[in-house]
Chain A
Amino acid sequence: MSAEDGDTPGVIKRFLFVNRKAPYGTIYALEALEVVLISAAFDQDVSLAFLDDGVYQVLAGNDPSGIGMKNFSPTYRALDDYDITKLYVERESLQERGLPEDGFVVPVSVVSRAEMAAIMSQQDVVLSF
Chain B
Amino acid sequence: MAYEVDGKTINADEEGYIINLADWSEPLAAIIAKSEGLEMTPNHWEVVNFLREYYNEFQIAPAIRVLTKAIGKKLGPDKGNNKYLYDLFPYGPAKQACKVAGLPKPTGCI
Q: Which residues of A contact B (CB under 8 A)?
A: 34, 37-38, 40-41, 70-72, 74-75, 77-78, 81-82
- A71 x B108 contact (CB < 8 A): no
User: Using an 8 Å CB-CB cutoff, how does the interface string of B63-75 with A read, 1 for contact, 0 for none?
Assistant: 1011001100000
B60 touches A78 (CB 8 A): yes
Question: How distant is A108 from chain B, measured CB to nearest CB, in Å?
Answer: 17
Q: Is the CB of A75 within 8 A of B58?
A: yes
**Alpha-carbon gap, A40 to B107, bound state (A):** 10
Chain A: which residue is nearest B63 at the CB level?
Answer: A41
Q: Does B57 contact A (CB under 8 A)?
A: yes
- For the complex of A and B, the 8 pairs showing the least CB-CB separation, nearest first, are A78-B58, A37-B108, A81-B66, A37-B107, A38-B108, A74-B59, A75-B59, A74-B58
- Given known contacts A34-B107, A41-B108, A82-B108, what 13 new A-B pairs fall within 8 Å (CB)? A38-B108, A41-B110, A70-B59, A72-B59, A74-B57, A75-B60, A77-B57, A78-B58, A78-B62, A81-B58, A81-B62, A81-B66, A82-B66
Complex contacts, A70 vs chain B, CB 8 Å: 59
**Is the Cβ of A40 less than 8 Å from the Cβ of B58?**
no
A-B contact pairs, 6 of them (CB 8 A): A38-B107, A41-B65, A74-B57, A77-B57, A81-B58, A82-B66
